[in-house]
A = this chain, B = another copy of it.
Amino acid sequence: MLSGTNVQAVKADLRAQAVETASWAYANSGTRFKVFAQRGVPRTPQEKLDDAAQVHRHTGAAPTVALHIPWDRTDDYAALAAYAGERGLRLGAINANVFQDDDYRLGSVCHPEARVRRKALDHLLECVDIMDATGSRDLKLWFSDGTNYPGQDDIRARQDRLCDALAAVYERLGDDQRMLVEYKLFEPAFYTMDVPDWGTAYAHCLRLGEKAQVVVDTGHHAPGTNIEFIVALLLREGKLGGFDFNSRFYADDDLMAGAADPFQLFRIMYEVIRGGGLTPGVAFMLDQCHNIEAKIPAIIRSVMNVQEATAKALLVDRAALSAAQQTGDVLAANAVLMDAYNTDVRPLLGEVREELGIDPDPVAAYHRSGWGQKIIDERVGGTQAGWGA
């Protein structure tokens, strides 16, 4: 272990960290070329929660589950929340979907036609109703809105429409509710998205007020973007609402968090900690697609990857780092950071888990549990959940 580390404090932070998993990550997903269905995939929101409970059981770190409306639509959200509660879970962020109705071919809240904008807004407001029922704090807003061709629509008019819709939703939020505005460089729009970067999301949130915060999806940036810089800046501005974690080599690949660039995830977590963001005010959510790998163990692994990056970031000798920075010793400062990164934190996290009464190796424990086979055997018939694109 690194010298000077307060191991108990590090462990306490690790025990406190919660990673929210996404209901849709338990379901089938794919690319535009093919969705490879997997056996045992949930058919209902309840079955998704059953799977999520397995992730929490083996990691002790995934107590909440984000819903996506309408993919998780149900008649009785309070009952769904109770179902979650019985499995040791809570319902997390409500994710609005204004991109899959035929009406949304040219956008939702930015659509040129008022009727479509109204329809989209109504859905967003319905999502706040659902939050009231589930007790969710966060409304996550990702808009697929944008244009594919130059000239297709008026960039500025679309901003005006977006502004109006966000204001209407903001007005509807309860005292303890927040709106998390997500940005994305491209896809599904290929000329311009209406919220392509953090600056755009920030400008809107600033105008709206305190309950509007920016959410950083780690796969939604241009090549070369320094994500941890954005994190540091948003924390400084009091505008970081949370993360959609995943990883990528190219575009929005939606691979497991930490799989493509574990050093980047570590740097992000370092800036979170440095900026005082390791608090409930910053939501740590996974938003990934397990297109070819088994879903539950992939999610377990992703939670572990976030934990390992956090553990390493907590191990950074902040005093030594600051001293080296102050004296302008580039190599010494970098070395302090790398010492933490190069530490094998798996034993430490194993201890944390054992102190929580769970297996130090969550993946092995999951495989031993037989759950994977059980759902293959039992979930026969019905319609598997998926994006329904």
Contact = CB atoms under 8 A, between A and B. Distances in A.
A190 B32 contact: no
Contact of A202 (B151, B152, B203, B298): B203
A30 interface: yes
Contacts of A230: 199
Interface in A302-327: 308, 321-322, 324-327
A251 to B, nearest CB: 5
A125 B320 CA distance: 35
A289 to B, nearest CB: 8
Contacts of A102: 36-37
A88 to B, nearest CB: 24
A226 B155 CA distance: 11
A334 interface: yes
A222 interface: yes
Interface in A189-209: 190-192, 196-200, 202-203, 206
Given A106-B330, A112-B325, A326-B112, A188 B34 contact: yes
Contacts of A106: 292, 328, 330
B292 A148 contact: yes
A233 B225 CA distance: 20
Given A31-B188, A191-B249, A271-B155, A291 B328 contact: no
B187 A250 contact: yes
Contact of A274 (B154, B197, B225): B154
Given A32-B30, A199-B198, A342-B344, A331 B250 contact: no
B294 A36 contact: no
A361 to B, nearest CB: 11
A71 interface: no
Interface stretch (A41-49, A173-181, A260-268): A260-268
Contacts of A225: 185, 197, 222
A159 B233 contact: yes
A206 B291 CA distance: 34
Question: Interface size for chain A: under 10, 10 to 19, 20 to 34, or 35 or more residues?
Answer: 35 or more
Nearest to A99: B33
A292 B148 CA distance: 8
Nearest to A144: B33
A186 interface: yes
Nearest to A294: B331
9 contacts: A31-B188, A112-B325, A148-B292, A150-B259, A155-B233, A155-B274, A197-B197, A202-B203, A203-B237
Given A113-B328, A149-B333, 13 more contacts: A30-B188, A33-B99, A34-B144, A148-B291, A149-B256, A156-B236, A190-B253, A192-B228, A197-B197, A203-B237, A223-B223, A250-B251, A298-B331
Interface of A: 29-37, 99-100, 102, 104-106, 112-113, 144, 148-157, 159, 185-188, 190-192, 196-200, 202-203, 206, 221-226, 228-230, 232-233, 235-237, 248-251, 253, 255-256, 259-263, 267, 271, 274-275, 291-294, 297-298, 301, 308, 321-322, 324-328, 330-331, 333-338, 341-344, 346, 363, 387, 389
